Amino acid sequence: MNTPEASRRDSGARPTIKAVAAAAGVSTAAVSQAFNAKGRISEATRRRILDAAAELGWSPSATATALRSARTRTLALVVRRPTDVLGADPHFTELITGLEGELAPRGYGLLLHLVADVAEESTLYERLAAEGRVDGAVLTDARADDPRPPLLRGLGLPAVLLGAPHPDAPVPTVGLGNQGAGIHEAVDHLVELGHRHIAYVSGPGELLHTGLRRAVFEETLLLKGLAPAAVLSTDFSEAAAVAATEELLGMAQRPTAVMYANDSMAVCGIGAAQRAGLRVPDDLSVVGYDNLPIGHWLHPRLTTVDQQVQRVGAAAARALLAQCGEKVPPVALDERPRLVVRESTGPAR
Amino acid sequence: MNTPEASRRDSGARPTIKAVAAAAGVSTAAVSQAFNAKGRISEATRRRILDAAAELGWSPSATATALRSARTRTLALVVRRPTDVLGADPHFTELITGLEGELAPRGYGLLLHLVADVAEESTLYERLAAEGRVDGAVLTDARADDPRPPLLRGLGLPAVLLGAPHPDAPVPTVGLGNQGAGIHEAVDHLVELGHRHIAYVSGPGELLHTGLRRAVFEETLLLKGLAPAAVLSTDFSEAAAVAATEELLGMAQRPTAVMYANDSMAVCGIGAAQRAGLRVPDDLSVVGYDNLPIGHWLHPRLTTVDQQVQRVGAAAARALLAQCGEKVPPVALDERPRLVVRESTGPAR
């Protein structure tokens, strides 16, 4: 004959605190204490009770209900970058600023995790979902065959993916459309200024947006009947930007214009060019990417591509908050990144 | 006839760990391991278990999981700044980089909250403690009569306070000693270069470190028999830094040197001076504060005070991790901030 507990388990009926107490060989009061972290039960007993409860699928109903409906008021932002590049690339500061602008007034926090690779990132989402640590996640750095959207869908964790709008994506995408448009405009701008030797200083090749922008750079030049003066890859670090610039300035046929994959590298490039005795833009035109605030204040002011990082962050936060049940209107985004012409680009000599 | 799993699902009864184990063809212990990211199960098995759990709608009780592992592996960083200044001041990016350098390799995350004032910050700690969301907190921007250390002590939440070492503080302090030393050195450096009209562009007056540095600036000048050319307060924003610089350059007796409360403002100040037709350092010497990476790459390279923001972040993370029971050796910090003389300071004309 079955014990009452076993029959309950087998029939799939809801387990009871009595069943947990019986399975652990303790009183029901001790079970309560184990879950409330109160009382004088030993760690070994607490563990035995929690294991028995897990085995039976029991949890204190009030707490369980509260936990099920309760919000953590926390969104995850997992960044796949070495920690030193996080500091070097103000892009993330801009993104976080955009997110926080929406989260802070609503009392939400941002859980920031740095991970080394996609596998580590996936394991982390599994843990955050299992432990109920966040209400949703903002995914950055979209890749081809990205495993994260289906994973998060499977985990039941709301998510948005930063990147070009993609109607078939397993999770909503938030970003400007036509992501190559800014690069396209920048190349047009330089060619109109008479530049024929234009170089590109890229980010790491494996990132989707990096590869896309580099491809648009090369295609746009090709449409004009031109070839790149050079295309150099970097890890986004300042030292790599300076090294790439020095390499370009040392070429037999020196480029008359350089486009950088972000503003931070462009600022370093301007410094390196000035240090080598070149004037910007008289001797060398420089184009950045991101439209960070600093570019507006430097002398010369930086010509760059505005991809509205803060605004995309705000839109991502709102899209995710809406998925989490908050009543927030969506943020309208421009249909594409735009070139902002300032002072660091001029006629080719 | 229905399988037990199907009948459970159909009857709407609560799914059990046993059902998940059966569906995935593993032991219940393996299911626990899959959700706790522990044990030696393969990635494929883990995924099969998570899929089965998602299919059945089962997840470990958050309370049970939390109590079993006890750690959230999350530390809080609450920043009392308007969101737009967060983006403007790379100081926080540096601090976060320093913290993440220690947290990321250990699988810890950083919960970032922006708040408007101390009252909001205190309420937040109370909620985070009550909901068990973090293992500890890093406190920034120490104030006179700071209510946070006693509050966190009362909440039983481990904390470190960023600032000058203070043996009697209710929570451990992490920071360089002799915090005025960098300002003192900078004033000495400028006076030795022949400057007699030195201005100071400060941060918001209510912050402890801002007030301290401004006082040291004035006292050091006084020791040399000099008075400040001007002392202007800002909210740390780039626009305010430019406005302050323009105000100084418009003075009847124009300062020959300006010290800024952070590098970000100093970079804006250099841009504003160059835009006004002045050469740095020939016509105007500029000193920053923080030693951010960008200062090393600009032309001219920025003379600044190194207060080792990243290293202080790393030390704070380790001190907090140690309080949370992690075995980490402490980070040794220099005894004081130091002046880094580069190219933006030169002899007074």
pLDDT in tens, A133-178: 999 999 988 777 788 998 998 888 999 999 877 777 788 999 998 8
Q: Is the pLDDT of residue B204 over 60?
A: yes
Q: Is the pLDDT of residue A18 over 80?
A: no
B152, burial (CB in 10 Å: exposed 0-12, middle 13-18, buried 19+)? buried
ipTM value > 0.90: no
Count, residues in chain A? 349
Task: Quote the CA–CA distance of A127 and A116 in Å, as a whole number.
Answer: 16
Q: Is B61 on the interface with A (CB under 8 A)?
A: yes
Task: Quote the CA–CA distance of A318 and B334 in Å, as a whole number.
Answer: 43
Tell me the pairing of strands A338-340 and B109-115: unpaired
Residue among B115, B272, B293 whose CB faces A87 most closely: B293
Query: What is the reported pLDDT for A35?
Result: 66
Q: Is the pLDDT of residue A235 over 80?
A: yes
Asked if B17 and A272 come within 8 Å (Cβ–Cβ), the reply is no
Reduced DSSP (H G I as helix, E B as strand, rest coil) percent helix, strand, coil of chain A, to 5: 45, 15, 40
Q: Is the pLDDT of residue A84 over 60?
A: yes
- Phi, psi of B21, deg, nearest 5: -60, -45
Q: Is A62 on the interface with B (CB under 8 A)?
A: no
- Phi, psi of A160, deg, nearest 5: -130, 145
**Could you give the percent of chain A with pLDDT greater than 70?**
87
Query: What is the reported pLDDT for B84?
Result: 63
DSSP B303: B
Task: Quote the CA–CA distance of A131 and B284 in Å, as a whole number.
Answer: 56
**How much is the average pLDDT of A77-96?**
77
End-to-end CA distance of chain B: 97
- Domain B74-176+310-323 grouped into CATH 3.40.50.2300: yes
DSSP B324: T
Task: Quote the CA–CA distance of A93 and A91 in Å, as a whole number.
Answer: 5
Instruction: Name the closest residue on chain B to residue A94, using Cα atoms.
Output: B87
Looking at the DSSP bridge assignments, the partners of residue A16 are none
Classified as helix, coil or strand, A53 is: helix
B320 vs B170, residue with greater confidence:
B320
Confidence of residue A32 (pLDDT cuts 50, 70, 90): low
DSSP B193: T
Q: Is B45 on the interface with A (CB under 8 A)?
A: no
Query: What is the reported pLDDT for B186?
Result: 98
Q: Which long-range contacts (CB under 8 A, 24 or more apart) does B40-49 make?
A: B43/A119, B46/A126, B48/B24, B49/B20, B49/B21, B49/B24
Asked if B267 and A294 come within 8 Å (Cβ–Cβ), the reply is yes
Query: What is the reported pLDDT for A46?
Result: 79
Q: Which of A16-20, A233-237, B285-289 is the least confident region?
A: A16-20
**What is the rounded average pLDDT for all residues in chain B?**
86
Tell me the pairing of strands A74-79 and A136-139: parallel
A-chain residues within 8 Å CB-CB of B62? 67, 131-132
In 3D space, the residue among B15, B23, B3 whose CA is nearest the CA of residue A13 turns out to be B15
Q: Which of A54-68, A102-116, B24-38, B67-81 is the least confident region?
A: A54-68
pLDDT digit string (tens) for B208-243? 778 889 999 999 999 999 999 999 999 888 999 999
Residue among A96, A268, A298 whose CB faces B271 most closely: A298
Query: What is the reported pLDDT for A208?
Result: 72
Mind telling me how many Å the CA of B168 is from chain A's nearest CA? 31
Pair of tokens at residue B128: 């985070």
Confidence of residue A65 (pLDDT cuts 50, 70, 90): very low
Asked if A154 and B50 come within 8 Å (Cβ–Cβ), the reply is yes
**How much is the average pLDDT of B29-39?**
66
B89, burial (CB in 10 Å: exposed 0-12, middle 13-18, buried 19+)? buried
Asked if A37 and B67 come within 8 Å (Cβ–Cβ), the reply is yes
Classified as helix, coil or strand, A170 is: coil
A-chain residues within 8 Å CB-CB of B99? none
The domains spanning A4-68 and A181-307 adopt the same CATH topology: no
**What is the rounded average pLDDT for all residues in chain A?**
86
Q: Which of A81-95, A164-178, A220-234, B123-137 is the least confident region?
A: A81-95
Residue among A72, A101, A275 whose CB faces B133 most closely: A72
Q: Output the CA angle B117-B123-B124, nearest 5 degrees.
A: 90
The tokens 């075995």 sit on which residue?
B327
Compute the half-sphere exposure of residue B186: CA atoms within 13 Å on the CB side of its CA.
38
Looking at the DSSP bridge assignments, the partners of residue B201 are B232, B260
**How much is the average pLDDT of A246-275?**
96
Q: Which of A105-109, A187-191, B5-9, B192-196 is the least confident region?
A: B5-9
Task: Classify domain B4-69 at the CATH class level.
Answer: mainly alpha
Instruction: Name the closest residue on chain A to residue B19, using Cα atoms.
Output: A12
Tell me the pairing of strands B136-139 and B159-162: parallel
Task: Quote the CA–CA distance of A282 and B324 in Å, as a whole number.
Answer: 57
Pair of tokens at residue A284: 């060398």
Confidence of residue B68 (pLDDT cuts 50, 70, 90): very low
Q: Where are the domains of chain B?
A: 4-69, 74-176+310-323, 181-307
Instruction: Tell me the DSSP string of B127-147.
Output: HHHHTT--SEEEE-S--TT-S
Tell me the pairing of strands A257-260 and A198-202: parallel
**How much is the average pLDDT of B104-130?**
91
Under 8 Å between Cβ of B18 and A57: yes
B-chain residues within 8 Å CB-CB of A265? none
Q: Which of A5-14, A107-116, B8-17, B269-278 is the least confident region?
A: A5-14
Q: Tell me, rounded to whole angstroms, the distance of Cα B4 from its chain centroid.
A: 53
DSSP A299: S
Asked if A94 and B87 come within 8 Å (Cβ–Cβ), the reply is yes
The tokens 């004009």 sit on which residue?
A224
Q: Is the pLDDT of residue A260 over 60?
A: yes
In 3D space, the residue among B220, B204, B182 whose CA is nearest the CA of residue B88 turns out to be B204
**How much is the average pLDDT of A318-341?**
91
- Phi, psi of A75, deg, nearest 5: -115, 145
B-chain residues within 8 Å CB-CB of A6? none
Classified as helix, coil or strand, A275 is: helix
B-chain residues within 8 Å CB-CB of A155? 50, 54
- Domain A181-307 grouped into CATH 3.40.50.2300: yes
Q: Is A259 on the interface with B (CB under 8 A)?
A: no
Tell the CATH superfamily of the A4-68 domain: lambda repressor-like DNA-binding domains (1.10.260.40)
B276 vs A97, residue with greater confidence:
B276
Number of Cβ within 10 Å of residue B282's Cβ equals: 11
Under 8 Å between Cβ of B264 and B89: yes
A-proximal residues of B, 210-249, CB under 8 Å: 238, 241-242
**How much is the average pLDDT of A245-268?**
96
The tokens 């993609």 sit on which residue?
A166
